[in-house]
Structure 1
Amino acid sequence: MGSILIKDTTREERERIVRESLGDGFDVTCGYDDAGIDYQQYIDGKKELRELNAEADCGFVVAHPEEQQKGCNNI
């Protein structure tokens, strides 16, 4: 697969990328509420996937935050 950056893809390609990544039953226009990710922003060319994923509130809790390495958010 080539680049998935907005500058390297068309709107149709971005929609296909999201649809294929999340599965056929996913309605792209509704967003992904469980994680708080609005993939429509990527499809519309407003935000890169890495930005949306970094902003997502997935509800994960780090068991031992003192063991986290600095700079781990390089998504």
Structure 2
Amino acid sequence: MEAVYTVKGMTCGHCVNSVSTEISKIDGVTGVQVDLPTGAVTVSSAGPLPRTAIAAAVDEAGYELIGAQS
């Protein structure tokens, strides 16, 4: 499965790494791709993931989840 989320506040490569690392810790996540200019975060997973888990991981990284495009 693949879902696309929008994250607010990322401005550099370190931001991308922080968000990717935190989302990768969620059980079932198989891949994370971040597009810094747009804030789009594509999450690949073995099955559906709760939006709350993605939001919590983004928050832990210090950013804000502002949308999902599933």
TM-score, normalization by structure 2: 0.32
* Structure number with higher strand proportion: 2
**Of the two structures, which has the highest relative contact order with CA contacts closer than 8 Å and spacing of 6 or more?**
2
Quick check: which has more Rg, 1 or 2? 1
